[in-house]
A = this chain, B = another copy of it.
Amino acid sequence: MTGLFERHQVTLQAALDAAAKRDYWSAYPEVPSGKIYGETARDDGLATYEARLGKSFDLPGHPAESSVGAEVSPYGPSLGITYPAASVDMLVAASRVAARQWGSATPEVRTGICLEILARLNARSFEMANAVMHTTGQAFAMAFQAGGPHAQDRGLEAVAYAYAEMSRTPTEAIWTKPQGKSEPIILEKHWRIMPRGVALVIGCNTFPTWNSYPGLFASLATGNTIIVKPHPAAILPLAITVEVIRQVLMEEGFAADTVLLAADATGSEITKNLVQHPSISIIDYTGSNSFGSWVRANARDADVYTEEAGVNSIVIGATDNFAGMCSNIAFSLALYSGQMCTAPQNIFVPQDGIGTDEGHKSFDEVAAGIAAAVDELLADPARAAGVCGAIANPATLARIATARSLGRIVRDSAPVEGLSQARTATPLILAVEANEESYAEERFGPITFIVAVDDVTDGVNRAAELAERKGAITAALYETGEARILAAADRFAAAGVNLSVNLTGGIYVNQSAAFSDFHVTGANPAGNASLTDTAFVANRFRVVMWRRPIAA
């Protein structure tokens, strides 16, 4: 039926190799360059995005009873796009109708189609960048990377893992059991991959594609039909994704309804009804701990994969590059105004200060150094806009306002100059004592606590205990003593947190690279699964056999 598997086999094999070696590798260039994507790609992507504004988003053949859509760009304008909307029962029924055909396709056919979808999405990365920028508030360059190639890489990674698991068991074998001096018993056996059913993917506001693609592509490759439930404030990136998927499915002779969009409106979300529907077999969820906890508790027999939230920490014990440390931390705090699940919130610093290449630095000097580095990073308004982007959710501004009273202000938050129509905020940095509880809650957005601790060991223990209690996706350590580094690696591993040590150059604790870094461990309350490992894909299908005797 298709030659797509053969067409993309080199990419698939490279992805499998990269995932096994875990060296750097990427299938989709992260540089938004005309030389790579075509000289007119940037303008074309913008034009395609703008042509969608103020119109209904057409998904031919998609079930619909009404339309919804009220997205407003964090940069100011309303998008004015409406999407087809259908009841949960209508969506599930349509998904089930599509299930048999898709489930009967071979793993190779499905994998080939997934790879073609990813290639098409890659070609539309500039359009996607605009869609992500104006739904999440990410600056354009980040929206391009995180919403485009990096998300596609994460999708490819999931497809590769899924294909590896689906092909681990042979499709047939001859089983020959010796019977002493008698003739052996010989059976022919046949195995096939059976999907689980209807998979639900619940997207988030800040990374609608990056966080959704792993679950979406893992479930799709393994033969499940998919209902994509975007956050009401970030529908467009996933609507474009669903549009591309449905186009490829139809071209290859499959039902478009194999993948559906479950658009809804703030205040009348259909998410809970989807989660509790008895036909839903798999749920991928990205979002808050509170709703994640509800999903885990209320899903029926569906397998649930969550990325929730946590309280990420940096612990500073010593550094041989004080300036590099401060500027590295500053970038991690300011990038997308701290609205990344990987952004640090707490910085544990010994109350008596630290040793550095610039001599001893007191607690206040360390705090001041980080604050100064943020100021320097954001001194140029254009650069500030490019780093911070805009604030996705108005509640984050309110949270910053409230947070100001939670400690001594080391650096105040302020709007980003030159983005007057946008909702923006630079990092708020507060100094607190270790015995305060203010820093022990996730405070999503550009809110940082510098916490005075006894020493680096105290900091590591507090950070790790917080991770065990509240979850954490990342941790960072600055330390020069190898024994203390290894001890911290042990402690954070026990807390299920991935740790970055002594980052001072152009790599940041926030960054998680497909094919090398597993994103989230699943080993603390920040999420129950990892993107993407074998555990993330192996339960999305079952293996069923038939066997019969054959003559010796």
List the interface of chain A (C-beta within 8 A of B): 20-24, 100, 165, 168-170, 173-179, 185, 187, 189-192, 194, 196, 296, 301, 485, 489, 492-494, 496-507, 513, 516-518, 521-523, 528, 530, 533-535, 538-539, 542-549
Contact B518 A549 (CB under 8 A): no
Residue of B nearest to A172 (CB): B22
A-B contact pairs, 16 of them (CB 8 A): A20-B170, A22-B175, A173-B516, A175-B513, A187-B507, A194-B496, A497-B544, A498-B544, A498-B546, A499-B547, A500-B547, A521-B543, A521-B544, A523-B544, A530-B542, A539-B539
A493-B544, A523-B544 given; 4 more Cβ-contact pairs under 8 Å: A23-B173, A24-B175, A498-B544, A503-B548
Given contacts A24-B175, A493-B194, A516-B175, contact A185 B544 (CB under 8 A): no
Residue in contact with A549 in the complex, picked from B174, B179, B502, B528, CB distance below 8 Å: B502
Given contacts A174-B23, A543-B521, contact A169 B506 (CB under 8 A): no
Given contacts A175-B513, A489-B190, A507-B549, contact A496 B544 (CB under 8 A): yes
Give the complex CA separation of A337 and B510 in angstroms. Answer: 61
Please give the distance in Å from A47's CB to the nearest CB on chain B.
Answer: 29
Contact A175 B544 (CB under 8 A): no
Please give the distance in Å from A235's CB to the nearest CB on chain B.
Answer: 31
Given contacts A24-B175, A173-B23, A498-B544, contact A534 B165 (CB under 8 A): yes
Which chain B positions have C-beta within 8 A of A535?
538-539
Which chain B positions have C-beta within 8 A of A507?
177, 185, 187, 549
Contact A499 B538 (CB under 8 A): no
Which chain B positions have C-beta within 8 A of A518?
169, 191, 543, 545
Give the complex CA separation of A500 and B546 in angstroms. Answer: 6
Contact B174 A493 (CB under 8 A): no
Give the complex CA separation of A546 and B509 in angstroms. Answer: 11
